[in-house]
Amino acid sequence: MIEKHKEIARLISQRVVNEKDYAAIEEHLTTDYIYHGLGGMMSKTPKGFMEAIKGFHAAIPDLKSEIIDIIGEADRLVLRFNFTGTHKGEFMGFPASGANLHFEGMIMRRFEGEKVAEDWDYFDFPTVVSQIQNSLKVSL
């Protein structure tokens, strides 16, 4: 089952993050999916996760993710990502800066059968903030 879970994780990353195919969320997440995000943000529906991803896409329209590592055991996977994109919209209180962003993140993902039931996301937002601030200083 671990290999199937890895395949599903890759599909979600490709379709949802890279291709903005939000239908994949309903296909691959349980109806009672729980999302644990930045700063204690929590959603108890797939729709909440979709809104979080759409927020990223609004701020970073060309956002791309690349899975670097996947480790799995039982019903859980841990994924390590590289993310890239251009900051073109408001993000975390910062106006569009045009900064070319590169940052890392990790997700621990729990499955129920072949669907994702819960995610815990951790992203290197201090690096994102630093890149945005440096770009804003240059543009002043």
Q: Is it the case that residue 140 has pLDDT exceeding 70?
A: no
User: Residue 98 has which token pair?
Assistant: 């045009």
Confidence of residue 37 (pLDDT cuts 50, 70, 90): confident
> pLDDT tens digits for 99-137?
999 999 999 999 999 999 999 999 999 999 999 999 988
> In total, how many domains does the chain have?
1
Instruction: Print the domain residue range for 36.
Output: 2-139
d(CA 109, CA 119): 5
- pLDDT, tens digit (0-9, with 9 covering 90-100), for 52-65: 899 999 999 999 99
Q: Identify whether the C-beta of residue 85 lies closer than 8 Å to the C-beta of residue 116.
A: no
Domain of 20: which CATH number? Answer: 3.10.450.50
Q: Which of 76, 26, 23 is nearest to 46 (CA)?
A: 26
Contact criterion met (CB below 8 Å) for 83 and 98: no
10 Å Cβ neighbour count for 113? Answer: 10
Rounded to the nearest 10 degrees, how much is the dihedral formed by the CA atoms of 136, 85, 45, 95?
Answer: 20
Query: For the purposes of burial, counting CB atoms within 10 Å of the CB of 91, is it exposed (0-12), middle (13-18) or buried (19 or more)?
Result: buried
